[in-house]
Amino acid sequence: EDQVTQSPEALRLQEGESSSLNCSYTVSGLRGLFWYRQDPGKGPEFLFTLYSAGEEKEKERLKATLTKKESFLHITAPKPEDSATYLCAVWYSSGSARQLTFGSGTQLTVLP
């Protein structure tokens, strides 16, 4: 069964305490893996796109990596303003159709 799973569900960090969020997937025919950030009551904000294993992208304190089975979002020295829900989404081919599945998200809280 095609699945996208994020862990942990929730993460509390002290300011400056680096950590990683995980997005594992069991789909075949990966067309792209996307990371988004969502603040409460707002639409998701695009962060990164990853297409192939070994690919890495960086933006400020965030770095996204991709393997054949999972992606990591590394947060280095987080600040309170990094608090949000982080979502991964996967586009993949299922037969002749394209499918899009979101993970359930990781709610990150960074304490000052």
Partner 1 sequence: DTEVTQTPKHLVMGMTNKKSLKCEQHMGHRAMYWYKQKAKKPPELMFVYSYEKLSINESVPSRFSPECPNSSLLNLHLHALQPEDSALYLCASSQYVDYEQYFGPGTRLTVT
Q: Interface residues with partner 1 (CB under 8 A)? A: 31-32, 34, 36, 41-46, 49, 87, 91, 97-98, 100, 102-105
Task: Work out how close the CB of 59 gets to partner 1 at its nearest, in angstroms, rounded to a whole number.
Answer: 13
* 7 versus 18: smaller Cβ distance to partner 1: 7
**Residue whose CB is less far from partner 1, 25 or 36:** 36
Token couple for 97: 């159709």
CA–CA dist 72, 86 (Å, integer): 11
Q: Which residue has the tokens 């960090």?
A: 13
The string of DSSP codes covering 9-32 is: SEEEEETT--EEEEEEE--SSEEE
- Shortest distance, position 16 Cβ to partner 1, whole Å: 27
